[in-house]
Structure 1
Amino acid sequence: MTEYSIAGTADDVLSLCRALRDATGMLGLNPTGQAELLERVERAEQAATAAPVDLPGVGIQVRAIRYYLVEMADGPISAFMADDAARIIGDDIGKLFF
């Protein structure tokens, strides 16, 4: 797997992005962290909907999303979202895997 390859599909990325937008209040992020996460979500959506899919962009943004979810979020669903991001990336480093 190259640095920019991902195990998930563009549809997986878009599904994660929709879920994160719908559940921002349940992630346990401060307002700055929430704004930064949503910026990454928007960039991931743009990369996933590009024709052709911007795999380097998707990989970079989903890794950043996972970072926010693992290192900064402490809400009731943040672990599940982090694991979904880890599954998409393909490296299995989320919160529940620890």
Structure 2
Amino acid sequence: MTGGQIAGSPDDVLSLCRALYDANGMLGLDASGEAELLRQVQLAETAAAFDPADQEAMASALRAIRYQLVEVADGPISAFMADDAARIIGDGIGRLFS
């Protein structure tokens, strides 16, 4: 995988974005962390919606999302969301479940 490519499809990215919107309050983020996460989710969603999808922008936003979920979030589902982001990115960093 190069820096601008991801293993998952744009549909995978959009699915993760929807799940993150639905997870509001269950990720264990403070207001500023939640605002930053939602900003990155919007960027990922926009990049995935292009035809063709903007691989580099999706990769960048997903890496920022993964960072927030692994390093900042401590809610009951944050590990599952981080694992999904890592699976979509495809580099294995942050994978907790196989």
Which TM-score applies when normalising by structure 1? 0.95
Determine the structure 1 residue equivalent to 2:88. 88
Determine the structure 1 residue equivalent to 2:28. 28
Quote how far apart the aligned CAs of 1:93 are.
1.7
Q: Is the 8 A contact 1:70 1:95 kept in 2?
A: no
Quote how far apart the aligned CAs of 1:65 are.
0.3
Between the aligned partners of 2:27 and 2:95, the Cα distance in structure 1 is 13
Between the aligned partners of 2:76 and 2:96, the Cα distance in structure 1 is 12
Quote how far apart the aligned CAs of 1:47 are.
0.2
Gaps of at least 5 residues in structure 2 are: none
Large movers: runs of 4+ above 4 Å: none
Q: Secondary structure at the match of 1:94?
A: coil
Q: Secondary structure at the match of 2:25?
A: helix
Q: Is the 8 A contact 1:48 1:58 kept in 2?
A: yes
Which TM-score applies when normalising by structure 2? 0.95
Determine the structure 1 residue equivalent to 2:76. 76
Q: Is the 8 A contact 2:86 2:95 kept in 1?
A: no
Quote how far apart the aligned CAs of 1:91 are.
1.2
Between the aligned partners of 1:21 and 1:48, the Cα distance in structure 2 is 15
Counterpart check, 1:45 vs 2:45: yes
Between the aligned partners of 2:32 and 2:85, the Cα distance in structure 1 is 20
Q: Is the 8 A contact 1:69 1:81 kept in 2?
A: yes
Give the letter for the 1:74 counterpart.
D
Give the letter for the 2:35 counterpart.
A
Quote how far apart the aligned CAs of 1:52 are.
1.3
Gaps of at least 5 residues in structure 1 are: none
Between the aligned partners of 1:70 and 1:18, the Cα distance in structure 2 is 19
Quote how far apart the aligned CAs of 1:24 are.
1.9
Determine the structure 2 residue equivalent to 1:9. 9
Q: Secondary structure at the match of 2:14?
A: helix
